[in-house]
Each structure stands twice: as structure tokens, then as C-alpha cells.
């Protein structure tokens, strides 16, 4: 044990005092740089949040643009801080330049790996610039419908009608067809489909459907927005009818459609309009031969 302690003491003594002081000084500089970077990022975030809160009361400030710009500034500050920290470590900048010069294949691999992330970032910036939707808009992206809660550089957060948060990468949004139910006229022409049997009276079915639509309090009744019922298809088992009516907005449309569908079904049952279901008639070959 005594020999080990003596060897450790000799090794420590062999390290120049200037090297120890230089190492301590470097650690202090790196720590200060990290603290300053985090502090500046937080202060700017708070300043931008305070400005946005003030500006919304005075000016028309778009929350979507604000959200993306705030994140771009924050990322930029952290990148600058990381560069400063790297530059403070003795020999590390030269080492990284040397590695970068001789790591062409690695750079290609990293580039492919980062392609999706960069695609999300550029798509997020594109959303902020061209604004196909904004925070608070009701949108339909693919099969998802909901309200835009947040837009980051990487993804967009959608609050669905089930009160769930759908996290959608921005690159996927740029490839999908986006329906914005908020921009422009909020009113919606909604459709509800019904099927009746071939033996049922089409005029009676149309009269029942229109009556139930016009009785609903959420259906609009302006002169140029009257409800209509059309025959859309003569199917294998049913005559298909489509009801078209106007409502105030997309959230109202779904609930109104379900209520009208239920009330029409009850009226059909009471007044003898049959809703058919698929069925098959099986004929045995022996029975056909006997009949012949």
C-alpha cells in the first residue's frame, strides 16, 4: 500500500503545475460558456413570450410564426454555445477538422441518417412561411382530424376529437393533403348516406329524410343552402340516397349527422321504409335438376 501511494505521489508530482492550472482554467471556461448559453436561451425565450403576450393585445401577431421563430432562435443560441465550448477545449477543433477531412464515408452515412430530421426542420420552416394552417385551426391531415395545438421545427401537435395529442412529423404533413376547416368560410356542406330496399318508396324516404333534417336546430336554412336528397347509386342490395345539408362548422357537422341518421332510422321503422342488408340465395344443383 505504501509503495502504491508513493508511486501515485510521484506521478502527480510529475505533472507540471502550469498544466493543472490550465486544465482547471479550461474547465471553468467551459462551465461558464454552458451556463451563459443556457441562461441567454432562457432569457430570450422569456422575452419573446412576454413580447408575444403584449403584442397580441396591440397587434395581430400570428402564433404559428412566433412559435417557429422562437424555436429557431433557441436552437441557434445552443448551436453557437456548442461551437464556443468545442473551441475552448485544447486540440479538439483541430482534431475534429482532421476527422472531418478523412471521414467522407462517415459523413455520407450521417447525412443519410440526418436526412429525415433535416426534412422535418425544413418542413417546419415552410409551414411557418407559407402557413397552410395556424395554431388553433381545425385541420384534417390524412385520417386525423383535430385542432392544431403547437408547431415545432420537428413536428406538429394535433388535438384530436378524442382529446388525444397526435404528434405528426412535419415531413409527413408536407407530403399529405391538408384540409383546413378554419380558413375562409367556416360553414360545411355535410353528407349522410342511407340505403333503402328496392321495394320501398323513394319519394316517401326522401320526404322523411328532409323532414328530419329541417327539424334539426343546427341545420342552416338559408335560401341558397337548402337541404337536398339525391339518389346516388342503384346498388346490389339497395337504392342509395345521399342527404346534403349545411351546418355552421366542422365540429357541428359530425354530431348533427349522427343525430339525423338516428332520427331517420326511427322514422323509417315507423313508416315501413326498409333498410336492406346483404343476403344470398343458395340454389343446389340437385334441386335444379329435379325442377327441370
- The model's pLDDT over 68-111, given as tens digits with 9 standing for 90+, comes to 677 777 778 778 877 777 777 766 666 556 655 555 555 555 56
Give domain status of residue 126, yes or no. Answer: no
Same-domain pairing of 91 and 31: yes
Q: Total structural domains in the chain?
A: 3
User: Is the predicted pLDDT of residue 272 greater than 80, yes or no?
Assistant: yes
Which band of pLDDT confidence, cut at 50, 70 and 90, is reported for residue 180? Answer: confident
pLDDT of residue 73: 78
pLDDT of residue 242: 95
Range of the domain at 92: 2-102
Same-domain pairing of 94 and 157: no
User: Is the predicted pLDDT of residue 131 greater than 70, yes or no?
Assistant: yes
Give domain status of residue 39, yes or no. Answer: yes
Residue 214, domain CATH:
3.30.70.100
pLDDT of residue 8: 45
User: Is the predicted pLDDT of residue 212 greater than 60, yes or no?
Assistant: yes
Same-domain pairing of 58 and 138: no
Same-domain pairing of 173 and 195: no
Same-domain pairing of 95 and 8: yes
State phi, psi for 15 to the nearest 5 degrees.
-80, 125
Last residue of a domain, one of 180, 215, 240: 180
Give domain status of residue 159, yes or no. Answer: yes
Give domain status of residue 121, yes or no. Answer: no
User: Is the predicted pLDDT of residue 22 greater than 60, yes or no?
Assistant: yes
Which band of pLDDT confidence, cut at 50, 70 and 90, is reported for residue 115? Answer: low
pLDDT of residue 55: 59
Give domain status of residue 125, yes or no. Answer: no
Same-domain pairing of 46 and 79: yes
Same-domain pairing of 97 and 152: no
Give domain status of residue 127, yes or no. Answer: no
pLDDT of residue 147: 86
Same-domain pairing of 28 and 73: yes
Lowest mean pLDDT across 60-64, 82-86, 130-134, 173-177 = 60-64
User: Is the predicted pLDDT of residue 125 greater than 90, yes or no?
Assistant: no
Same-domain pairing of 84 and 141: no
Same-domain pairing of 175 and 262: no
Query: Looking at per-residue confidence, does 240 or 58 come out higher?
Result: 240
Query: Looking at per-residue confidence, does 47 or 61 come out higher?
Result: 47
Give domain status of residue 290, yes or no. Answer: no
Buried b vs exposed e over 44-60: b needs ≥16 C-beta within 10 Å?
Answer: eeeebeeebeeeeeeee
pLDDT in tens, 156-178: 888 887 788 888 888 888 778 88
User: Is the predicted pLDDT of residue 243 greater than 80, yes or no?
Assistant: yes
pLDDT of residue 74: 78
Lowest mean pLDDT across 13-17, 235-239, 261-265 = 13-17
Residue 160, domain CATH:
2.30.30.60
Same-domain pairing of 15 and 69: yes
pLDDT of residue 7: 47
Give domain status of residue 112, yes or no. Answer: no
Q: Which residues contact residue 38 at a Cβ distance below 8 angstroms, ignoring those fewer than 6 apart?
A: 81
Same-domain pairing of 153 and 77: no
Give dist(CA 258, CA 81) in Å, integer. Answer: 56
**236 torsion bin: left (phi>0), alpha (psi -120 to 50), beta (else):** alpha
Per-chain mean pLDDT for the chain? 77
Amino acid at each position: 500500500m505504501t509503495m502504491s501511494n508513493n508511486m501515485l505521489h510521484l506521478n502527480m508530482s510529475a505533472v507540471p503545475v502550469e498544466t493543472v492550472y490550465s486544465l482547471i482554467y479550461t474547465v471553468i471556461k467551459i462551465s461558464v460558456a454552458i451556463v451563459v448559453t443556457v441562461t441567454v436561451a432562457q432569457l430570450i425565450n422569456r422575452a419573446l413570450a412576454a413580447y408575444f403576450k403584449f403584442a397580441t393585445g396591440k397587434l395581430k401577431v400570428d402564433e404559428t410564426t412566433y412559435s417557429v421563430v422562437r424555436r429557431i432562435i433557441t436552437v441557434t443560441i445552443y448551436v453557437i454555445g456548442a461551437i464556443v465550448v468545442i473551441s475552448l477545449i485544447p486540440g479538439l477543433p483541430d482534431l475534429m477538422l482532421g476527422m472531418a477531412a478523412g471521414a467522407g464515408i462517415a459523413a455520407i452515412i450521417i447525412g443519410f441518417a440526418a436526412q429525415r430530421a433535416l426534412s422535418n426542420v425544413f418542413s417546419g420552416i415552410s409551414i411557418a412561411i407559407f402557413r397552410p394552417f395556424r395554431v388553433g385551426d381545425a385541420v384534417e391531415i390524412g385520417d386525423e382530424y383535430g385542432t392544431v395545438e403547437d408547431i415545432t421545427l420537428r413536428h406538429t401537435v394535433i388535438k384530436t376529437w378524442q382529446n388525444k395529442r397526435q404528434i405528426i412529423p412535419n415531413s409527413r404533413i408536407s407530403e399529405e393533403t391538408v384540409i383546413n376547416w378554419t380558413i375562409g368560410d367556416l360553414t360545411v356542406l355535410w353528407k349522410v348516406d342511407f340505403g333503402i330496399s328496392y321495394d320501398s318508396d323513394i319519394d316517401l324516404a326522401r320526404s322523411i329524410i328532409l323532414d328530419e333534417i329541417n327539424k334539426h336546430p343546427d341545420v342552416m336554412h338559408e335560401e341558397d343552402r337548402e337541404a337536398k336528397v339525391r339518389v346516388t347509386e342503384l346498388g346490389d342490395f339497395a337504392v342509395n340516397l345521399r342527404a346534403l345539408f349545411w351546418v355552421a362548422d366542422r365540429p357541428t357537422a359530425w354530431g348533427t349527422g349522427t343525430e339525423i341518421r338516428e332520427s331517420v332510422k326511427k322514422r323509417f321503422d315507423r313508416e315501413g321504409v326498409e333498410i336492406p342488408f346483404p343476403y344470398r340465395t343458395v340454389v343446389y344443383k340437385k334441386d335444379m335438376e329435379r325442377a327441370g
